[in-house]
Amino acid sequence: MQDKILLIVRLIVETDHVHINDAVKEIETNTVLNIPSTPNVKVLKTEILKTHQDN
């Protein structure tokens, strides 16, 4: 069976950015995501869903 799963991650950050949206964009751009398969679950694709926040 193939299906989609959403995993939500909470980050607590400290930043020098004046606008938090700039920090979010930087984190989204520079994050490397690795979710490995398990014996019972084959991970076919992973991606970070961009937040589309305006400054």
Integer angstrom CA distances of residue 55 from 2, 13, 20, 31: 37, 18, 9, 20
Looking at residue 22, its pLDDT comes to: 93
Query: How does residue 53 score in pLDDT terms, banded at 50, 70 and 90?
Result: low
Through-space distance between the first and last CA atoms of the chain, rounded to whole angstroms: 40
Q: To which H or E segment does residue 27 belong?
A: helix 20-30
pLDDT in tens, 1-50: 999 999 998 999 999 999 999 999 999 899 999 999 999 999 999 988 88
Residue 52 has pLDDT above 70, yes or no: no
Among 4, 1, 15, 7, residue whose Cα is nearest residue 48: 7
The model's pTM? 0.67
Among 43, 22, 20, residue whose Cα is nearest residue 33: 43
